Amino acid sequence: MDEITRQIFAAQRVIEDVYTYYAREACPCAFPRFRQLVGFRDEDYGTGPVACFEQQHMVFLATRSDSSIGTRGVFQPIGEWESVADSKKRLLRCTTCGSDWIVEYTQYSINLSREFMILGTISPIRAQQIGLAPEPQVPLVAGIHGPSVCALEKCRAFFRSATENEMYEYLTAKRQGINDFTTFDLNVDTPPDD
């Protein structure tokens, strides 16, 4: 197995673990760093075509409710795919908090397609934000790919190379005070649970 194939498999396992964690804690919408990763778009960097391995797996699992892993039913499709120029898009609704998302799919070539997810513009996010705010670069195991070295270089600012652990920790990190019971209220007789 070559190095990039190994990285893609490793990254996919991390993504699946991250979904399991989100489902246990709240839903993906509660984590701004989930939003950061699934929202990557090469056009925001003034270039293309570029796709991100981790993002593709995350969106793939979000949009396939018949997936056999733990992401089953996290998002429910609303309506059918709608064609817009060279792309297709459809609405998804989080089955936990009810937030609406738009997923957009573009087939760049036989070898390259990309999907991204952004929040629906009509309704705000409904989940309480328990995840940490994004940093400028997402730590990723596999990263981005595309046919143009120049385009890849322009999108390079989106991520930094990282280990599987770093990637998992980044995507699942919670804000301080969330599930952090080290501060005791002196007026309370019994310490908080856990």
Which residues are 77's β-sheet partners?
Answer: 92
Nearest-angstrom CA–CA distance, 25 and 179:
10
3 state DSSP class of 164:
helix
97 contacts Zn ion (rule: CB under 5 A):
yes
CB of 90 to Zn ion, least distance (A): 17
Binding span for Zn ion by CB under 5 A among 37-45, 79-87, 92-100, 153-161: 92-100
Instruction: Looking at the chain, list the stretches that DSSP marks H as alpha helix, in order from N- to C-terminal side.
Output: 3-25, 32-38, 53-63, 149-155, 164-172
Q: Which of 94, 117, 142, 144 binds Zn ion (CB under 5 A)?
A: 94
**Residues 117-146: x where in contact with Zn ion by CB under 5 A, - otherwise, as a string:** ----------x-------------------
Nearest-angstrom CA–CA distance, 167 and 157:
16
Nearer to Zn ion, 29 or 59 (CB): 29
96 contacts Zn ion (rule: CB under 5 A):
yes
Nearest residue to 60 via CA among 18, 112, 117, 120: 117
For tokens 């929202």, what's the residue?
Answer: 39
Nearer to Zn ion, 94 or 167 (CB): 94
Binding residues among 11-70 for Zn ion as defined by CB under 5 A: 27, 29
Residues that bind Zn ion (CB under 5 A): 27, 29, 94, 96-97, 99, 127
